[in-house]
Amino acid sequence: MINSIVLRQAGIDDVPAIMEIETPVFGHEAWSTEAMARDVADRNCFYLVAEAHTDALGGDPLVVGYAGLLAPRGSGDGDIQTIAIHPDFRSHGLGRRLMEALLEEAEALHARRIFLEVRADNPHAIALYASLGFEEIAVRPGYYQPEGVDAVIMKKGADL
């Protein structure tokens, strides 16, 4: 039984747990461990992990989701780098919680425009992003290979 799910800032020590979600969720599109570690450690990035705290785990929390934001200070822009939830923990609002926390951080960093990219064949994610105020601004035809799935580019916020 899950007692609670807590969001906290990720550190380099979280990369192995992040990769345990990244690799099966994204398959051949998954980032490498090295690329993820670089992003998590980058001073212009802000990563969160979602930890499930349960009695069954003997008090040890389990990372069940993560999300990352790139927002170079002074640029006015931010980019949602990635977000993933372990399949066993989906459909409970965790993706929304992570996105809302990233958007709060973006606001604190004075990022007025936030961009993201999502597979066109992921209607649940597109609906979540739209409900958070993102609008489709472009499509990259056949971007995701080898399937040839389009990438939908979305933006939230006013132009600078």
Among all residues, which ones are annotated catalytic? 117, 129
Query: Is residue 65 within 8 Å of residue 85, measured between CB atoms?
Result: yes
Between the alpha carbon of residue 29 and those of residues 11, 35, 82, 126, the distances in Å are 22, 12, 12, 18
Cβ-Cβ contacts under 8 Å for 10 (sequence gap 6 or more): 18, 40, 47, 48, 49, 66, 68
d(CA 141, CA 88) in angstroms, rounded, equals 31
> Max CA-CA distance within the chain?
49
